[in-house]
Amino acid sequence: MLQTVCEELARVASVRYADARAAVLPHYLAVLRQAQPLVLASIAAALTSNDAVHGLNGLAADIGAPRSLAELGVTPDDLRTVTEVCAKRSWGRPGLAEQAMPDVLAAALHHS
């Protein structure tokens, strides 16, 4: 679902896919924290951090990656469009990530 969301952000808001992914990924991982603790522990270890989200945010700051969708020019209207398109692609069986995606995108809009 993350790939689809970032592809749609690129299409709808005319932002680079990599920039969209950099802004969304920390918020996406935060949603998965409870459901996938071993995955997040592995990511944290790879980032030499105690927490995957914190480590990823630190890396993003270090390399100057976009921290929010708003800084890329994404608007709330863009997010509504992306959410609608992605909801149609959930094949009627939304999982945790799909259910949380509107909240993930809202958090990524202003890096909250």
50-100, pLDDT tens digit by residue?
999 999 999 999 999 999 999 999 999 999 999 888 877 764 555 655 677
The residue-averaged pLDDT of 38-50 equals 95
CA dihedral 85, 105, 99, 78 (to 10 degrees): -20
Indicate the SS3 state at residue 111. Answer: coil
The structure's pTM equals 0.85
CATH code reported for the domain at 2-110: 1.20.1090.10
